[in-house]
Amino acid sequence: MRHGNFSQEPGQSMNWRVVRVLMPYLWEYRWRVGLSLLFLVAAKGAILVIPFLVKAVVDSLDVPDRGNILAMGLILLVVAYGVARFSSVLFGEIRDTVFGRVTERAMRKIGLQLFRHLHALDLDFHLNRQTGGLARDIERGVTGISFLMRFIVFNIAPTLFEIAMVVGILYAKYGAIYALITFFAVAAYWAFSVRATEWRTQFVREANEADSASNTKAIDSLMNFETVKYFTNEEFEARRYDRELEKWEIARRKNRLSVFTLNSGQALIIAIAQTSMIGLAVFQIRAGELTIGDFSFIQTIMIQLFLPLGFLGFVYREIKGSLANIEKMFDLMAVEPGINDVPDAKPLQVGQGALEFRDVSFGYRPDRAILKDISFSVAPGKKVAVVGASGAGKSTLVKLLFRFYDVNAGSVLIDGQDISQVTQHSLRAAIGIVPQDTVLFNDTIFENVRYGRPDAQDDEVGEAIRLAHLEDFIGRLPAGGNTIVGERGLKLSGGEKQRVAIARALLKQPPIMIFDEATSSLDSKSERAILAAIREIATGHTSLVIAHRLSTVVDADQIVVLDQGEIVEVGAHAQLLAHEGRYAELWRIQQAESEHPELRSPDNATLQPAG
C-alpha cells in the first residue's frame, strides 16, 4: 500500500493541486457555470449602479423646488434605487440556484469516488484504519468541496473585478488621491489577510486532528459497548474521551484567538481607509469642491467596496480552512492499493473448480514467515480440511486464496490459472465463504441473506434459507425474515449468524466453498446442526475447510495438517490416526479435553483465534 500526499506544512502557499482536481467537475457543467457567471455580472452591475442613483437623489434634493417635474424625477430615482437593490439580490439568488447543481453533483461524484476507492484498498489498510476519524475526515472534506468550488468561482475573481471598477470610478470622478487610498487599503488588507491566514491554518489543522481523534475514541468505545459494561469501565472511557476533547478544546481556543487577530487587523485597515476618505470628502465639501451627493456617492461606494473586501478576507480564510479539511480526504484518495490487477488481467474461467496451492511461502512481515513451502490441492467436488494448532497459518491460506495478500513465493491456482494473473473481482465471485466471525449488516435477515447475490429473486433467497435450515428459526420470530439483526448482527446468536452466513454463501452459488472455523464459537448442539448443513451444501462444491476442532472434519476426503507454517501430514482421518503422528496427538488431546474440560490448556483452547 503506497501513500500519495496532497497535504502541506503550515505556512506554505495555497494547495492549488486540490483546485486542479476540482476543475473537471466545473468543466462538466460549463454551461451552468457560464450562465451563473452571467447572473453574477448582472448582480455586480446592479450594485455598481446604486451609488450613482444615491448621488442623483441627494443632489436632486439640493435643487430648488420646480414642482411636479422634480417630484417625478425623485420618485423615478427612488424606484430605480429599489429595482437595483432588488436586482442585485435576485440575480445573486438565481446564480446560486443555477450553480447549486454543479456543487451538489461534484459532492456526490467525489463522495462516490472516495467510497469506491476505500473499498478498492487492500485488507492491510482497513486493519489499520480508525473508523471514527476516517468518517469525520470524509464528512469535512465533502463539505469543504462545496465551499471551495462555490467561492473560487463566485467570490475571488468577481470581487477583484469589483475592486478594480471602484478604483477606476473614483479616479475618473474624484482624482488620484481617492483611488490611491482605495488601492493601498486593498493591498494592505490583502497582504495582511494572506499572512495571517497562512499563520492560523496550522490551528485549523490541529483542531481537525483533535476532532478526528475524539470522534475515533467515541466510535470505538460505543462499538465495544458490551465490553465497557463487562468491565465497568464507563468512567475510564469517559476520562479517555475527555482527554481527547480537552485537546480539541485547546485547539479550538487557539483557532478562535487567531480569528480574533485576523478580524481585528482587517477591521483596522478598513477603518483607517474609510476615515481617510470621509475626512477628505468633508474638507472638499467645505471648500465647495464636492456636493453632498458626491459625499453620499463616496460613502455608498466605500460601503459596497469594503463589504465584499471584508467578505473576500473571509472567503480566503475559509478556502484555506476548506483546503485543510479537503487535504485529509484527498490524501485518502491518493493511497494506492497494495494489491492490484496485473495489466490486461483476464477474468477467471472456472470449469470444474480445482484448487491448488503450489510451493506457497508467505509472511505478513519480512522477519516472520507464516507459511513455508506449502503444496496441496483440492480436486473438483472434493472436501479438503486444513487443521492445526492456533497460529499454524490456517486462516492465512484463506486470505491468500481471496488475494487479500499476494504470496511471497509460489502460486495459488484455480483450474490451472494463477490467481495473481486474473481480475480480483472474478476471483472473489467464484468463491463463497462461511467465516469464523460472521458480521452482518444492520438490516433484515432476508436482506442479509440476499447480500450473497443482491439481484436474487425472493424465491431464490427463500430456497437458500431453506437449505441453510433457517426456516424454523425465522418462523419463530414475530417479524419473520424482516427482523432487524442489529449492528454487526449482535441481536442474533453465534449459531443463528452462522446459518445466515451459510444461506448467504449458498445464494452466491460459487463453485468453490470455504469454511473458515465456521463452528469454532458454537455450542455442541449448534455445531452439530451447522455441520449437517455444511455437509449438505458441500456436496457438489469444491470445499476447503479450515478447522481447529478435528471432530468437525472427520468426513473430509483429505486432511492437511499444518504445524508452524509447514505441512507435516496429509491423509484421511483413519489414515492419520493410524500413522500416530501430529494429527493423532492433536486428536487425543482434544478428545481428552471434551471428556475433561478442566484439562483444556490455553495453547489448545478451541476458542483461540486461528492463525
pLDDT in tens, 526-575: 667 667 767 776 667 788 988 888 888 888 899 999 988 889 999 999 99
Please give the single-letter amino acid code of residue 207. A
How many Cα atoms occupy the beta-carbon half-sphere of 365 within 13 Å? 2
Q: Are residues 329 and 447 in the same domain?
A: no
Quote the percentage of the chain above a pLDDT of 90: 10
pLDDT at 359: 93
Comparing 108-117, 214-223, 257-266, 311-320, the range with the smallest average pLDDT is 311-320
Of all helices (H) and strands (E), which one includes residue 48?
helix 30-61
Q: How far is CA 299 from the centre of its chain?
A: 49
Dihedral angle of Cα 557, 561, 567, 571, to the nearest 10 degrees: -30
pLDDT at 142: 75
pLDDT at 608: 32
**Per-residue pLDDT reduced to its tens digit, 17-76:** 666 767 777 777 778 777 877 887 787 777 777 777 777 777 776 655 555 555 666 677
Please give the single-letter amino acid code of residue 595. E
Please, which pLDDT band fits residue 8 given cuts at 50, 70 and 90? very low
Report the C-alpha gap between 244 and 130 in whole angstroms.
15
Within a domain: residue 242? Answer: yes
Q: Are residues 439 and 322 in the same domain?
A: no
Cα 168 to Cα 37, 163, 282, 419: the distances in Å are: 22, 9, 21, 70
Please name which of 456, 545, 542 lies closest in space to residue 503, comparing C-alpha atoms: 456
Q: Are residues 304 and 453 in the same domain?
A: no
Please, which pLDDT band fits residue 601 given cuts at 50, 70 and 90? very low
Question: Position of cell 480480483?
Answer: 424
Quick check: 274 pLDDT over 70? yes
Cell (9 digits) for 193: 489577510
Mean pLDDT of the chain: 78
Please, which pLDDT band fits residue 352 given cuts at 50, 70 and 90? confident
Report the C-alpha gap between 362 and 106 in whole angstroms.
42
Q: Which of 334, 353, 375 is the last residue of a domain?
A: 334
Quick check: 280 pLDDT over 50? yes
pLDDT at 133: 64
pLDDT at 610: 35
Q: Where are the beta strands (DSSP E) in 188-272?
A: none
**Per-residue pLDDT reduced to its tens digit, 374-424:** 999 999 888 899 998 877 888 889 889 989 889 999 999 999 999 999 999
Cα 201 to Cα 332, 511, 554: the distances in Å are: 20, 55, 65
Q: Are residues 297 and 446 in the same domain?
A: no
Comparing 86-90, 490-494, 595-599, the range with the smallest average pLDDT is 595-599
Please, which pLDDT band fits residue 3 given cuts at 50, 70 and 90? very low
Coil, strand or helix at 464 = helix
Report the C-alpha gap between 533 and 501 in whole angstroms.
11
**Per-residue pLDDT reduced to its tens digit, 165-184:** 778 888 888 888 888 888 88
Q: Are residues 325 and 471 in the same domain?
A: no
Within a domain: residue 502? Answer: yes
Within a domain: residue 367? Answer: no
Q: What angle do CA 453, 546, 611 make, to 5 degrees?
A: 110
Report the C-alpha gap between 34 and 39 in whole angstroms.
9
Range of the domain at 471: 435-509
Quick check: 448 pLDDT over 60? yes
Quick check: 460 pLDDT over 70? yes
CB 262 within 8 A of CB 200: yes
Q: Are residues 139 and 279 in the same domain?
A: yes
pLDDT at 599: 46
Report the C-alpha gap between 387 and 567 in whole angstroms.
10
**Per-residue pLDDT reduced to its tens digit, 143-162:** 777 777 767 666 666 777 77
Please give the single-letter amino acid code of residue 504. R
Cell (9 digits) for 54: 444615491
Within a domain: residue 492? Answer: yes
Within a domain: residue 148? Answer: yes
pLDDT at 357: 93
Determine whether 319 is exposed, middle or buried from the number of CB atoms within 10 Å of its CB (0-12, 13-18, 19+): buried
Within a domain: residue 522? Answer: no
Determine whether 81 is exposed, middle or buried from the number of CB atoms within 10 Å of its CB (0-12, 13-18, 19+): middle
Please, which pLDDT band fits residue 524 given cuts at 50, 70 and 90? low
Gyration radius from the chain CA atoms: 36
pLDDT at 68: 53
Q: What phi-psi label fits residue 518: left (phi over 0), alpha (psi between -120 and 50 degrees) or beta? A: alpha
Q: Which residues pair with 486 in a beta bridge?
A: none
Q: Are residues 320 and 444 in the same domain?
A: no
30-61 vs 16-28: helix crossing angle, rounded to 10 = 100
Domain CATH code at residue 31: 1.20.1560.10
**How much is the average pLDDT of 210-221?**
80
Quick check: 308 pLDDT over 50? yes
- Output phi, psi for 371, to 5 deg: -120, 140
pLDDT at 522: 58
Task: Choose between 324 and 253: higher pLDDT.
Answer: 253
Report the C-alpha gap between 529 and 512 in whole angstroms.
22
Domain CATH code at residue 494: 3.40.50.300
Comparing 36-45, 281-290, 352-361, 362-371, the range with the smallest average pLDDT is 36-45
Looking only at the bridges linking them, the beta strands covering 355-362 and 431-434 are: unpaired
Report the C-alpha gap between 4 and 587 in whole angstroms.
51
Q: Which of 334, 359, 391 is the last residue of a domain?
A: 334
Highest mean pLDDT among 39-43, 57-61, 482-486, 590-594: 482-486
CB 326 within 8 A of CB 19: no
pLDDT at 10: 38
Domain count, the chain: 2
Q: Which of 509, 540, 559 is the last residue of a domain?
A: 509
- Output phi, psi for 375, to 5 deg: -140, 120
